[in-house]
Amino acid sequence: MERGEEEQSQFKTFIQEQVSRILHDLHVPSGKDVTELKLRIAALEGKIAELEGSRTE
């Protein structure tokens, strides 16, 4: 790898780490957090639908 490419790669890594740290410090949810919340919402919606279905019977 040429020196310029190596420096560019190191700079890119540095920027990614800084952005990650800042997002974490700001309590911005990660993609994993959002996925987990979507799964929890879907489970709750299913339970609500069950309760609504049993209430009308």
pLDDT of residue 20: 95
- Residues with Cβ < 8 Å from 23, sequence gap 6 or more? 30
pTM confidence score: 0.61
Q: Compute the distance between CA of residue 25 and CA of residue 34 in angstroms, rounded to an integer.
A: 17
Please calculate the CA angle 49-50-51 and round it to the nearest 5 degrees.
90
pLDDT in tens, 5-51: 999 999 999 999 999 999 999 999 999 999 999 999 999 999 999 99
pLDDT of residue 56: 65
